[in-house]
Amino acid sequence: MRRWNGWGDENTYLELPENGQSFLEERVGKATPLANATYEEVEASVPDSRLPESELYTVEPKDRILHARGQSLPDWLAMKSGNMGIYPDAVSYPESSDDVRALLDEAKKKDWVIIPYGGGTSVVGHINPLEDVRPIITVDMSRMCRLLDLDEQSRIATFGAGVPGPLLESQLLAKGYTLGHFPQSFELSTLGGWIASRSSGQQSLKYGRIEQLFAGGRIETLDGSFDLPTYPASSAGPDMREWFMGSEGRFGIITEAKVRVTPIADQEKFFVAFLPTWGMALNCVRTMVQAGIPMSMMRLSNVIETETQLALAGHENQINLLEKFLKFRGASDEKCMMTFGLTGNKAQNALSLTQIKKIIAKFDGVYTGTMLGKRWKEKRFMFPYLRETLWEKGYAVDTLETATDWDNVDFLLNSIESNLKNALSEDNENVHVFTHLSHFYGQGCSIYTTYVFRTADTYEGTLERWKTLKHTTSELIVNNRGTISHQHGVGQDHAPYMAIEKGPVATELLHHTSEFFDPNSQMNPGKLLVEKTATESVSSKKQAV
Amino acid sequence: MRRWNGWGDENTYLELPENGQSFLEERVGKATPLANATYEEVEASVPDSRLPESELYTVEPKDRILHARGQSLPDWLAMKSGNMGIYPDAVSYPESSDDVRALLDEAKKKDWVIIPYGGGTSVVGHINPLEDVRPIITVDMSRMCRLLDLDEQSRIATFGAGVPGPLLESQLLAKGYTLGHFPQSFELSTLGGWIASRSSGQQSLKYGRIEQLFAGGRIETLDGSFDLPTYPASSAGPDMREWFMGSEGRFGIITEAKVRVTPIADQEKFFVAFLPTWGMALNCVRTMVQAGIPMSMMRLSNVIETETQLALAGHENQINLLEKFLKFRGASDEKCMMTFGLTGNKAQNALSLTQIKKIIAKFDGVYTGTMLGKRWKEKRFMFPYLRETLWEKGYAVDTLETATDWDNVDFLLNSIESNLKNALSEDNENVHVFTHLSHFYGQGCSIYTTYVFRTADTYEGTLERWKTLKHTTSELIVNNRGTISHQHGVGQDHAPYMAIEKGPVATELLHHTSEFFDPNSQMNPGKLLVEKTATESVSSKKQAV
């Protein structure tokens, strides 16, 4: 059973090794957990739905509770405290595009607010109902999860857009194919959600982002249905798929999606190397990706993340041995762990590995083979469970991510980390901060920063701490050539920063487009764009053109 | 000096080998050339400009003549006949974004029509002035051609958008880099034109289309300036670059462009193989591209194009020897020529070649090494000159191109060819038709068809022949899962087919976007989109959703 108030499956629990706890106590301080509300308490407090019963949806409290919140830290605090905020008035479970069509027709007539819901894994408030005088219906797409067609010549698979990662991959695997899209939320997030939020998977170096995988599909808007046809490429004006990728439910609901699939590769291996310093490590990964060597993934942890990962990894003896080996080879206190993956035919993988090893050696790195790479693969979707573990110990964990060009990576990363470390200094609170780079492009890479802080004495106080951390860092990112998000999307939490990132013309154009599809702001209002009636509070330090 | 009434440099002339002419006479019939107008005749007939003299532009007849037409077949017939149609009233040569800004401010105030002009190489009527009661100013971007910045860490080069291919590559080469974008129009077409029309280069397999190369830049619209910032990737809502790629001057003028560049590769080679039949050849190239082998280009000529190329190639002795060799190896009458390129480091190229040779062998192909590949490289931008040569013999040449998914490639290619072959049968005219596939994707490829027909006794009659060929085939393409253009763009000639390709919702959205930037239709009207006041004449045979 899925956890009603946190991440993933109830029966999966990640133990913290003993030295893990002392590691955190040293860095953040001893912590006292906040008390969690029970499901029964929450159910007893759900207000009545403003909608009558109907065949189009259910108004059961349980469905409304399970669709009220995603996985952002504010969502967590809401769920753990039991102060859930706004609930949808109803949840609809369409089984076909026609069902979605019927619902939207009714929504248009009755002026309902519509929130499309994939896996509910958003960490930026994509699916949260906001206060509205109109009834709110959340559209849970989970019943539209089938492989509808597979064109093996063109390698295009058509799915119901509500299909979650594992079900998508298992249906493809049965035919010998993979989509290769593995975001950390893979176990729960859905194809439609990936498209609507422009997500990226851990193996994007080989398979591309969702932008490279989404070939077309069917969209239901308030005003009618239409198809995005599939073409391998086209110069017939702007590419309409680009309007819908990242549209976050504002323009319509993607009900069926055609995606580009690949046969399962002959061989896939993940490797780890350690670089002696951050400077060497940064140059090493840039050289690797700019050399165009075929790889499927790469991840570079900075010094603190490397230290933290080895401390929280467990397997103390193995890690001690590794540390000794690395010390012997000259990589010690300042070492950075780099993980990379090769997915392809054996001859190509062998050549790629030879070329990568040369680059690693050039930067005085220590190649350690596949042992830690195997572990990375096993644990690749487990990190969110750690949040649960740490929560029970009194620590709140959140992540921030961006992407920027290579010339700005080091500066932006340091600015983010130092801002987070010092953001709670007025409260005399330490924040443990560490970072990895995980999506690489010739032009730059993503920066993914995790921060751990103690919960305050109250939920309100904890939320205030988060707001300070999140807001000051987000403002810093968009004012320093970072995108507000490389892979999580915009939702409610990032919407206030969009105007700075996109600039006034593009922001106005997005509003103009939203008005085209949805003149009364019925489609997921308040997400992606701050409604024009809201007051702006984020300051731009960018130079005007 | 550039030809005023045709393609390229006046001093470059491609001789037709003797057997080339007889080859065409056999297939299309003996032909009589139409008489060309002289430049002096044309200059004498230019009407007065409707604009007074100004520092913002020139009203000289010569400038107006040289910017009146592109390189479509209707453009050719206009230039060769001297009946040039509509001239711009003035031509502006901005030297900076500020110059463009000043011009657009004035244009907005005075209600001028503005046509951005790159290299004037459009084959679909992008830059043609259309009849308008308002004065028309063509904005020639050629003076904005400098490399403004090169960020070697992020590998981003910033150029004035008017830079033509050779000048762009030579400025980069001096620093050890290449953009790698080589459309057939490379010698004359410009970076801004490539972006505005979503072009694709011959080595897109390695470097990507312009979509993968364009990182950001500066746009001047009627309402003001703005920057498209560079990010390696982002999930912050729709990607604004996508609004401008393919916008064909409707939304604004791209004045500066930031592009992703690559260091010059260690090694580049082009190879040729022959496949015994079209069926084998088609499967061979699909297998090659779907195997993900790193290549930089591929081109597959069908039987007739292979035969035509060998006949028009000259070097009779060499070709005869080759033919004998191929016959000996089993590839004869039905053979198809496949050219492919490897651009990278030597070890990678060697592995790729080994893997490609295995696939060629699997499909009973004959690998012939680099001799014909070298020739392809030497002649890669020469094809448009052949048009000039054949014109002088009385033949008109045009090309049509599209892209479609693999499952539809053979069907669509055959439909296009057979439609063209029979389109002039009422006039008892033969059309010589041949095709190659030249841009390859996992999902499908482009189809590039050349057709040669005799000019009629008059220019008007010749234009009618072209209209029949073009219209019937374009209609066939968009009704059969082909895009109206893979690499040439929409312009005036393809605009009537856009509504079928994109569907009513997307078409309406494009109009809505155009109105946002340009409420009075001053920016390149009649291109990309048929103005709403025009009557629709193309029929859709697509099923309604």
How would residue B525 be classed by pLDDT, with cut points 50, 70 and 90?
Answer: very high
Mean pLDDT, rounded, for A125-147: 98
| Residues A257-310 pLDDT 10s | 999 999 999 999 999 999 999 999 999 999 999 999 999 999 999 999 999 888
Q: What is the pLDDT of residues A43-63, one digit of tens each?
A: 999 999 999 999 999 999 999
d(CA A208, CA A260): 10
Residue A326 binned pLDDT confidence (cut-offs 50, 70, 90): confident
pLDDT band at B537 (very low <50, low <70, confident <90, very high): low
Tokens of residue A534, six digits = 């809201």
- Which CATH entry fits the domain spanning A18-140: 3.30.43.10, 1.10.3210.10, 3.40.50.920, 2.40.160.20? 3.30.43.10
CA of A544: which chain B residue's CA is closest?
B226
Judged by average pLDDT, the poorest of A458-462, B2-6, B70-74, B400-404 is B2-6
The amino acid occupying position A408 is N
Q: Which pair of tokens denotes residue A270? A: 């993940």
Over pLDDT 90: what percentage of chain B? 88
Res. A535: pLDDT tops 70: no
517-536 of A, contacting B, C-beta below 8 A? 528-529
Greatest mean pLDDT among A171-175, A327-331, A501-505, B324-328? A171-175
Mean pLDDT of B107-118: 98
Residue A160's beta-bridge partner residues?
Answer: A256
Burial class from Cβ neighbours inside 10 Å (0-12, 13-18, 19+) for residue A149 reads exposed
In chain A, the percentage of residues whose pLDDT exceeds 70 is: 97
Pairwise CA distance, residues B351 & A348, whole Å: 7
Nearest chain B residue to A208, by CA: B233
Paired strand residues for B115: B138
Yes or no: say if A245 and A198 are a contact pair by the CB < 8 Å rule.
Answer: yes
In degrees and rounded to multiples of 5, residue B367 shows phi and psi of -85, 130
Which tens digits make up the pLDDT trace of B248-306? 999 999 999 999 999 999 999 999 999 999 999 999 999 999 999 999 999 999 999 99
Residue B165: per-residue pLDDT: 98
Q: Which of A464-468, A489-493, A498-502, B15-19 has the lowest mean pLDDT?
A: B15-19
For residue B17, give Cα distances in angstroms to B34, B176, B303.
21, 39, 20
Q: Is residue B489 less than 8 Å (CB to CB) from chain A?
A: yes
Domain boundaries, chain A: 18-140, 267-379, 390-478
CATH code of the domain occupying B148-263: 3.30.465.10
Residues B336, B303: contact at Cβ < 8 Å?
yes
Residue A540 has pLDDT above 70, yes or no: no
Is A199 an 8 Å CB contact of chain B? yes
Could A234 and B510 be called an inter-chain contact, meaning their C-beta atoms sit closer than 8 Å?
A: no
User: Cβ(B541)–Cβ(B503) under 8 Å?
Assistant: no
Q: How confident is the model at residue A531 (pLDDT cuts 50, 70, 90)?
A: confident
Note whether A247 contacts B237, CB cutoff 8 Å.
yes
Find the CB nearest B232 among A403, A502, A503: A403
> With contacts defined as CB-CB under 8 Å, which chain B residues touch A439?
232-233
* Strand B136-140, strand B113-117: pairing: parallel
Cβ contact B236–A489 (<8 Å): yes
Put simply, the answer to whether B235 touches A199 (Cβ < 8 Å) is yes
Q: Dihedral, CA atoms, A535, A537, A539, A545, nearest 10 degrees?
A: -20
Does residue A115 sit in helix, strand or coil? strand
CA dist A301 and A438 (Å) reads 9
B505 vs A439: CB contact, 8 Å cut-off?
Answer: no
pLDDT digit string, tens, across residues A416-456: 999 999 999 999 999 999 999 999 999 999 999 999 999 99
Are B87 and B137 in contact by the 8 Å Cβ rule? The answer is no
For the cut 80, the answer to whether the pLDDT of residue A315 exceeds it is no
Query: Please, what is the average pLDDT of chain A?
Result: 94
Contact across the interface for A198 and B235, Cβ inside 8 Å: yes
Which of 3.30.43.10, 3.20.20.70, 3.40.50.300, 1.10.2020.10 is the CATH number of B34-140? 3.30.43.10
Q: Quick: pLDDT tens for B441-487.
A: 999 999 999 999 999 999 999 999 999 999 999 999 999 999 999 99
Provide the shortest C-alpha distance from residue A485 to chain B (in Å). 5
Distance CA A154, CA B278 (A): 18
- Which residue from A minimizes the CA distance to B507? A240
pTM: 0.96
What proportion of chain A, given as a percentage, has pLDDT over 90? 88
- CB-based contact B235 A406, cutoff 8 Å: no
Inter-chain CB proximity A231 and B502 less than 8 Å: no
In chain B, count of helices (H) and strands (E)? 19, 17
CB proximity A279 to B under 8 Å = no
Question: Which residues does chain A have within 8 Å of residue B265's beta carbon, measured at their own beta carbons?
Answer: none
B539 confidence band (pLDDT: 50, 70, 90) = low
CB contact under 8 A, A505 and B231: no
Tell me which long-range contacts A312-317 makes (C-beta under 8 A, separation of at least 24): A312/A16, A312/A17, A312/A20, A312/A23, A312/A386, A313/A17, A313/A375, A314/A15, A314/A17, A314/A20, A316/A17, A316/A19
CATH 3.30.300.330 fits A390-478, yes or no: yes
Q: Which of B228, B234, B445, B485 to mutate to test the interface with A (most CBs of A within 10 A)?
A: B234
Report which secondary-structure segment, H or E, holds B468: helix B459-478
Beta strand spans in A239-316 (E): 253-260, 262-263, 267-275, 297-301
CATH code for residues A267-379? 3.30.70.3450
pLDDT in the model for residue A324 = 80
Interchain proximity A247–B238, CB inside 8 Å? yes
User: Residue B487: which of A235, A238, A240 has the nearest Cβ?
Assistant: A235
On chain B, the residues whose CB falls within 8 A of the CB of A157 are: none
CA–CA separation, A396 and A398 (whole Å): 7
Asked if the C-beta of A544 comes within 8 angstroms of chain B's C-beta atoms, the answer is no
Q: In whole angstroms, how far apart are CA B491 and each of A528, B7, B220, B445?
A: 33, 19, 20, 22
Mutate to test the interface with B, among A202, A235, A409, A502 (most CBs of B within 10 A): A235
R_g of chain B computed on alpha carbons: 23
| pLDDT score of A158 more than 80 | yes
B432-440 sheet: strands from edge to edge: B366-367, B267-275, B336-344, B297-301, B432-440, B444-454, B395-405
Indicate the pLDDT class of residue A545, thresholds 50, 70 and 90. Answer: very low
What ipTM was predicted for this assembly?
0.95
A292 — contact with chain B (CB < 8 Å)?
yes
pLDDT band at A320 (very low <50, low <70, confident <90, very high): confident
| Chain A residues touching residue B355 (CB < 8 angstroms) | 345, 347-348
Judging contacts by C-beta atoms under 8 Å, the chain B residues touching residue A197 are: 235
State the Cα–Cα distance between residues B353 and B266, nearest whole angstrom: 15
